[in-house]
Amino acid sequence: MLADCQSFYASVEKSQNPDYAGRPIVVAGDPERRSGIVLAACPLAKEKGVTTAERVGEAVAKCPELVIVRPRMSEYIRVSLQISDIYRSYTDLVEPYSIDEQFIDVTGSLHLFGGDVQKMAQHMQQQVLSETGIYCRFGIAENKILAKTACDNFAKKNASGIYVLEKDRLADSLWKLPISKLFMAGNRMTYHFRAMGIETIGDLAAIPLERLKQLMRRKFGKNSDINAELYWRIANGVDDSPVTPGTHESPPQSIGHQMTLPRDYGTLEEIKVVVLELTELVCQRCRSKGFMGQVIAVGCQGADFDRPTGFFRQFKMADPTNVTNHVYREAVRLLERHWDGNPVRKVGVTLGQFSNSEQYQLSLFDDRERFMALERATDALKEKYGDTVIMRAVSMTQAGQARDRSGKIGGHYK
Residues marked active site are found at 101
State the CB neighbour count (10 A cutoff) for residue 401.
17
Element (H, E) at 148: helix 144-153
3-state secondary structure of 375: helix
What is the pairing mode between strands 254-265 and 344-356?
A: antiparallel
Q: Is 4 marked as a binding-site residue?
A: yes
CA separation for the pair 312, 335 (Å, rounded): 9
3-state secondary structure of 25: strand
Q: State the DSSP code for 178.
A: B
Residues linked to residue 408 through DSSP beta bridges, in sequence order: 413
State the CB neighbour count (10 A cutoff) for residue 173.
18
CA separation for the pair 164, 257 (Å, rounded): 40
| Cα of 171 vs its chain's centroid, Å | 32
Q: Is 304 marked as a binding-site residue?
A: no
Residues 196, 182, 52, 18, Cα dihedral to 10°:
160
3-state secondary structure of 136: strand
CA separation for the pair 107, 278 (Å, rounded): 44
Q: How far is CA 219 from CA 94, 187, 211, 215, 236, in A?
A: 39, 16, 13, 6, 22
What is the pairing mode between strands 344-356 and 310-321?
A: unpaired
The answer for residues whose C-beta is within 8 angstroms of residue 29's C-beta and 6 or more apart is: 35, 36, 37, 39, 56, 70, 71, 412
Most distant pair of Cα atoms in the chain: their distance: 73
Q: Which of 145, 193, 187 is nearest to 170 (CA)?
A: 145
Polymer length in residues for the chain: 414
Q: List, as one string, the DSSP characters of 63-84.
A: -TT-EEE---HHHHHHHHHHHH
What is the pairing mode between strands 94-98 and 101-104?
A: antiparallel
Q: List the binding residues.
A: 4, 100
Binding site, annotated residues for Mg(2+): 4, 100
